Amino acid sequence: MNILWLQSGGCGGCSMSLLCADTADFPAMLKAGGLELLWHPSLSLASGAELVALLEACRDGRQRLDVLCVEGALLRGPQGSGRFHVLAGTGRPMVDWVRELAQAATHVVAVGSCAAWGGLSATGANPTEACGLQYEDDRPGGLLGEAFVARGGLPVVNVAGCPTHPGWVLDTLMALAAGLLTREDLDPLNRPRFYADQLVHHGCTRNEYYEFKASAEKPSDLGCMMEHLGCKGTQAHADCNTRLWNGEGSCTRGGYACISCTEPGFQDPGHPFHRTPKLAGIPIGLPTDMPKAWFVALASLSKSATPRRVKSNATADHLVVAPAVRKTRLK
């Protein structure tokens, strides 16, 4: 299965993250997974006129195109002209290239939240009129329109994240190559379910602090970051704390809140990223699937039952009280 990978309004970080894939031989892993890079901005030799010829061949059907991967938001401005990104050497807006190539491709994959929804590139006043391939934030549409279906029968597959985990991208591409990605494997936002049906909360090392509502108050504290520091891990769809990042990492393990970067609109939370919005002292963003009354009751109960160890460690940057060692065998 061949792949053409293009970048537009973004930082290129999803490509850089991809190269962190956990493998001893990256090109060999691609090959073994049935993936052939027709062209990739960081990895291919072809440049300039060679690439333009390839794009024209894909567009005109002279070159088979199995997967079009787009990284970065689609910049429609100014005034819908697309001139905020004119593809070098072609004099044509990138949005025009993407529209045409999407028609020619068997599958279209949005790599990262910018390509999926607009993402960080669309934050605030969105001066570049950035949008995703088939969404603008959580509204279907985007560059290709709500009705778009690629030749292979799937809508744009949204591998959202900022950046994407290399495993999300590779598992998606390998599933497509094996013919194992169907509509049923996509969630209501067209994200692959294998990672989007998890919550960042799952596997979080701060779960004992969460259970007792023993909360971090400042950066580097070990406690749960939901109550004060803006953490959305109990609501955000992703497997970041079970499929770890760069070895043993994740945002919460790195000492900072989950900002729900896989969700449309995460870039404009309506509050400072690292401050939890509250109503009458209760966080507005409650854990997914949890009724508010239950949360309030459980929180007040668990707060009153917090062990001294958990409470002390929550506001320290290292363990100040270790778990007790019992004098009898564990029962």
Evaluate whether 257 touches 251 at the Cβ level (below 8 Å): yes
- Nearer to other proteins by Cβ, of 103 and 315: the residue is 315
> Of 2, 3, 4, 15, which lies in the binding site for other proteins, with binding defined by CB under 8 A?
15
* Six token digits for residue 295: 């949360």
> Of 33, 34, 43, 175, which lies in the binding site for other proteins, with binding defined by CB under 8 A?
43
CB of 327 to other proteins, least distance (A): 26
Strand-pair category, 282-283 with 278-279: antiparallel
Determine if 78 is a binding residue for other proteins (CB under 8 A): yes
* Six token digits for residue 231: 């953490």
* Tally of residues, the chain: 331
How far is the C-alpha of 178 from the C-alpha of 162, rounded, in Å? 26
> Of 2, 8, 158, 172, which lies in the binding site for other proteins, with binding defined by CB under 8 A?
8
Helices (H), 160-280: 166-177, 193-196, 207-211
- Nearer to other proteins by Cβ, of 210 and 245: the residue is 245
Determine if 249 is a binding residue for other proteins (CB under 8 A): yes
Burial 136-174 (b: 16+ CB within 10 A, else e): bbeeeebbbeeebebeeebbbbbbbbbbbbbbbbbbbbb
Determine if 150 is a binding residue for other proteins (CB under 8 A): no
The position carrying tokens 């190269």 is 19
Determine if 202 is a binding residue for other proteins (CB under 8 A): no
Determine if 84 is a binding residue for other proteins (CB under 8 A): yes
Determine if 250 is a binding residue for other proteins (CB under 8 A): yes
CB of 205 to other proteins, least distance (A): 11
Segment 122 to 141, residues that bind other proteins, using CB under 8 A? 123-128
Determine if 17 is a binding residue for other proteins (CB under 8 A): yes
How far is the C-alpha of 130 from the C-alpha of 11, rounded, in Å? 13
- Nearer to other proteins by Cβ, of 6 and 181: the residue is 6
Per CB under 8 A, the segment of 147-155, 201-209, 268-276, 293-301 that binds other proteins is: 268-276
